[in-house]
Amino acid sequence: GMVMAFEPQTQMFQLLNANCVINGRRNIVPVNAAVGERAGPVKLTPADQGEEVNFGAVMVDLHREKERGDHVGMIVLDDFVR
C-alpha cells in the first residue's frame, strides 16, 4: 500500500526523501508539512543539531511568536485525504 510520510522540518524532510530513494521505496509519498487540527502557516522552533537524544524534536509555534524557526504549512489530515 501507499504510505504518506509527513515531515515539517526541512532537513529531516530531505533525509526522508534520500532514504526513500536509496532504499527504492516508491510506495512512500513524502509531504513537507505539519499536521494539526487546523490548516495554515506555523513556525517550528529551531532544531538543536547538538542534541544527543533526539535532535529532530521541535515544537510547532501556532502563534509564530518565536524569533527564529522555519515557516511551514500545517494541514488537516482529513482535508488531505479527501
pLDDT digits (tens, 9 = 90+) for 19-50: 999 999 999 999 999 999 999 988 887 776 66
Percent of the chain clearing pLDDT 70 (strictly above):
76
| Helix, strand, or coil (residue 38) | coil
**Interior/surface letters 32-54, b for 16+ CB within 10 angstroms, e for the rest:** bbbbeeeeeebbbeebeeeeeee
Strands across the sheet with 40-44, in order?
Answer: 34-35, 70-75, 40-44, 60-61
pLDDT averaged over every residue in the chain: 84
Contacts 24+ apart (CB under 8 A), 60-63: 60/8, 60/34, 60/36, 62/36
Pick 69 or 14 by higher pLDDT. 14
Q: State the pTM of this model.
A: 0.79
Pick 42 or 67 by higher pLDDT. 42
* pLDDT for the residue 10: 87
